[in-house]
């Protein structure tokens, strides 16, 4: 059923967004292109990692029991019987009782040895090695399957791959893997007052800030933004642009035109071409947000003010994107801080207030919805829950970082 400014709460809006979200589409890509992408399936080890027992320090491979009680004044005396070459097999070397073998960091642990004494804890006199500290069984040694065993999950499905993950994939010999295809997100800006970034605004005009902001966020999140430019408040041209975007995109974001105003036709056009599911959310800023579908394509009407649009993008649209990517863990980063002053709020709506962080204190930055400077001056957002009438100074809060 279509709703025109019949507001619903934030959990209901998020649930609606997730319900209409397309499922992830898998694709195989080279592993060196994987950072930032989200795994579609579990990535497993195809062999034991490492494939051999190895030293993690430069030192002497020993039998741990031969070093028992060793001290600076009463070192254990062992006979050196050879050296393991880096990147080579152990060469048939073995450690018998009372003997030791030199091994570099990463070198193969000779048979018979179960620990490595760091070279700085030894002295050498000819073939005799003086061990001045005892070692325990397994000390300074990485066993052949201690990192990963064959068939063990390296990266679970739904994980956003990090640069360090890429290193693990390389160590495991993964040259390709299956990830979620990047969703294509269309962006349409509406409003007679908007001009391109390259233009000099005249009286009553403003540059289109939302498109640049949305493009940057979507790229960072792992989506492919597709920009359809500025559309004037004329139904025919708006419908034509929307009709062009729908078959080319997985989701369409319409910036501006969501308020209840004679010129704001976004809701009526979505209703005519498809269905308006939500028009109005108990969130501040961002109350007049629209959620709808045209065919199987989700369509969002975002507020025109950049601060409002960004909050809705973060709180309402992001869960839909996460579902499309199959992401299991939230990409939102938060930090704990103490509130530096009171935040008043209207009970019954979920309010997001911009704050600046300094030495663990979150200082609210209050400003009118249309101000841009608060986005630059702030470090993130503090959420005041719908059931609260504000937050008091000194309250411990979670700050959602930009």
Fold observed for domain 54-142: Molybdopterin biosynthesis moeA protein; domain 3 (2.170.190)
Judged against a pLDDT cut of 70, whether residue 263 lies above it is answered with: no
Instruction: Say which residue, 5 or 120, is predicted with more confidence.
Output: 120
Encoded tokens for 270: 């979505």
* Mean pLDDT to the nearest integer, 85-94: 86
Residue 2 confidence (pLDDT): 46
Looking at the domain covering 334-401, what would its CATH class be? mainly beta
Fold agreement between 10-24+182-325 and 334-401: no
Find out if CATH 1.20.1250.20 is the number for domain 10-24+182-325: no
Please determine, for residue 371, whether its predicted confidence score (pLDDT) is greater than 80: no
Rounded to an integer, what distance in angstroms lies between the CA atom of residue 310 and that of residue 378?
Answer: 13
- Yes or no: say if 255 and 289 are a contact pair by the CB < 8 Å rule: no
Q: What is the CATH number of domain 26-49+157-180?
A: 3.90.105.10
Q: Tell me how far apart the alpha carbons of residues 398 and 333 are, in angstroms, rounded to a whole number.
A: 10
- Residue 196 tokens read as 């391109």
Percent of the chain at pLDDT exceeding 70: 96
Q: Please report the pLDDT score of residue 1 as a whole number.
A: 41
Task: Identify the three-state secondary structure at position 373.
Answer: helix
- The contacts of residue 306 (CB under 8 Å, 6+ apart) are 209, 210, 213, 372, 375
Give the DSSP letter of residue 192: T
Mean pLDDT of 155-160: 96
pLDDT tens, residue by residue, 293-348: 999 999 999 999 999 999 999 999 999 999 999 999 877 899 999 999 999 998 89
Got the DSSP string for 299-357? EEEE-SSHHHHHHHIIIIIHHHHHHHHT--S----EEEEEESS-B---TTSEEEEEEEE
Domains of the chain by residue range? 10-24+182-325, 26-49+157-180, 54-142, 334-401
Using CA atoms, how far residue 63 sits from 67, 107, 327, in Å, is: 7, 16, 47
The separation between the first and the last C-alpha atoms of the chain, rounded to the nearest angstrom, is 35
Helix (H, G, I), strand (E, B) or coil at 64: helix
Q: What is the pTM of this model?
A: 0.85
The answer to whether 41 and 29 have CB atoms below 8 angstroms apart is: no
Query: pLDDT confidence of 262, banded at 50, 70, 90?
Result: very low
Write the CB contacts of 195 (distance below 8 Å, at least 6 apart in sequence): 201, 202, 205, 206, 207, 208, 230
Tell me how many degrees the CA angle 321-15-306 measures, rounded to the nearest 5: 55
300 close to 251: Cβ distance less than 8 angstroms: yes
Taking CA atoms, 68 is separated from 55, 139, 154, in Å, by 20, 13, 37
């Amino acid at each position: 059923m279509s709703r025109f400014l019949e507001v619903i709460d934030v959990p209901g809006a998020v649930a609606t967004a997730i319900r209409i979200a397309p499922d992830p589409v898998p694709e195989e890509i080279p592993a060196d292109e994987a950072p930032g992408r989200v795994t579609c399936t579990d990535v497993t080890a195809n062999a034991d990692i490492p494939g051999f027992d190895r030293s993690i320090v430069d030192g002497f491979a020993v039998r741990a029991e031969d070093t028992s009680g060793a001290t600076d004044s009463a070192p254990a005396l062992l006979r050196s019987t050879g050296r393991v070459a880096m990147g080579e097999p152990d060469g048939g070397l073995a450690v018998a009782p009372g003997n030791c073998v030199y091994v570099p960091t990463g070198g193969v642990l000779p048979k018979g040895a179960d620990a490595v004494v760091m070279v700085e804890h030894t002295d050498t006199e000819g073939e005799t090695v003086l061990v001045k500290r005892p070692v325990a069984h397994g000390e300074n040694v990485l066993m052949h399957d201690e990192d990963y065993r064959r068939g063990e999950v390296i990266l679970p499905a739904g994980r956003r791959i990090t640069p360090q993950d890429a290193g693990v994939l390389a160590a495991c010999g993964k040259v390709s893997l299956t990830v979620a295809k990047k969703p294509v997100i269309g962006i349409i800006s509406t409003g007679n007052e908007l001009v391109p970034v390259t233009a000099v605004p005249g009286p009553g005009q403003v540059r289109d800030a939302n498109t640049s902001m949305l493009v940057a966020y979507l790229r960072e999140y792992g989506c492919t933004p597709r920009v359809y430019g500025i559309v004037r408040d004329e139904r025919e041209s708006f419908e034509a642009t929307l009709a062009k975007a729908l078959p080319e995109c997985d989701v369409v974001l319409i910036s501006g035109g969501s308020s209840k105003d004679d010129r704001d036709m976004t809701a009526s056009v979505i209703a005519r071409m498809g269905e308006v599911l939500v028009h109005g959310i108990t969130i501040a800023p961002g109350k007049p947000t629209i959620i709808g579908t045209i065919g199987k394509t989700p369509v969002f009407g975002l507020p025109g003010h950049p601060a409002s649009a960004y909050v809705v993008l973060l709180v309402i649209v992001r869960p839909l994107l996460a579902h499309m990517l199959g992401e299991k863990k939230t990409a939102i980063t938060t930090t704990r801080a103490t509130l530096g002053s009171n935040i008043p709020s209207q009970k019954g709506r979920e309010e997001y207030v911009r704050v600046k962080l300094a030495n663990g204190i979150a200082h609210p930055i209050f400003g009118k919805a249309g101000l841009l400077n608060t986005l630059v001056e702030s470090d993130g957002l503090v959420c005041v829950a719908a059931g609260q009438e504000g937050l008091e100074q000194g309250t411990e809060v979670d700050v959602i970082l930009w």
